[in-house]
Amino acid sequence: MKTINLKKLYFPHYSKNVFVEVSDEVAEALLLMQREENNRRRKVYYHKAYYSLDCEDGIETAAIGWEQPSPEDYMIELEEQAAQEDMIRKLYEWLDELTPVQRRRIHARYMLGMKISDIAALEQITPGQVSDSIRGGIKKLRRRFLRQKQNGKL
């Protein structure tokens, strides 16, 4: 349990010192709230945004980074996200067309972030064989991608 002074937090409402015991979680939340408010004040000071928030022209919120995206921006973001998900789905379909060895090695190299030497040690082959296999798989994926792009399906 920690003791806090309500006068420090809520000065207009508490003009005299009022001490209250609160749990550690509440004290931590109040401390975070104070820090966020101090950060906001510093941003306003740094960007010289001293005018009223009531002016509704959006200058102050844009200056300190609190501007909310418009519905059009939100829809564009959703469309881009859907296009990314579609591209990832297609990539996994194309990976299924590779040989199991190429698929396994490409997955280990690019999705798991393993080094070629680690993959080679795991499979007990030379790093050159792993590199050639990955290069061949990437070449097949690139050809497939270019074919799809030429056909207008991307």
Q: Domain 71-150: give its CATH architecture.
A: Orthogonal Bundle (1.10)
Angle, CA of 109, 114 and 118, to the nearest 5°: 110
| 118 vs 59 pLDDT, higher one | 118
Domain boundaries of the chain, sorted by first residue: 2-63, 71-150
Cβ(64)–Cβ(40) below 8 Å: yes
pLDDT at 52: 57
Check pLDDT > 90 for residue 46. Answer: no
Query: Torsion over CA of 29, 31, 35 and 38, rounded to 10 degrees?
Result: 120
| 109 vs 54 pLDDT, higher one | 109
pLDDT digit string, tens, across residues 90-103:
888 888 899 999 99
Cβ(134)–Cβ(116) below 8 Å: yes
Alpha helices in the chain (DSSP H): 6-9, 24-46, 59-63, 71-96, 100-106, 116-123, 127-150
- pTM reported for the whole predicted model: 0.49
**In the structure, what pLDDT confidence band is assigned to residue 57 with cuts at 50, 70 and 90?**
low
- Mean pLDDT score, 1-5: 88
**Among 90, 105, 93, residue whose Cα is nearest residue 138:** 105
pLDDT at 127: 94
- Mean pLDDT score, 82-94: 88
- Mean pLDDT score, 73-85: 88
pLDDT digit string, tens, across residues 107-129:
999 989 999 999 999 999 999 99
CA-to-CA dists, residue 113 to 13, 118, 120, 138, angstroms: 57, 10, 14, 16
Q: What mean pLDDT is reported for the chain? A: 84
CA-to-CA dists, residue 110 to 92, 131, 138, angstroms: 13, 12, 11
**In the structure, what pLDDT confidence band is assigned to residue 67 with cuts at 50, 70 and 90?**
low
Cβ(112)–Cβ(83) below 8 Å: no
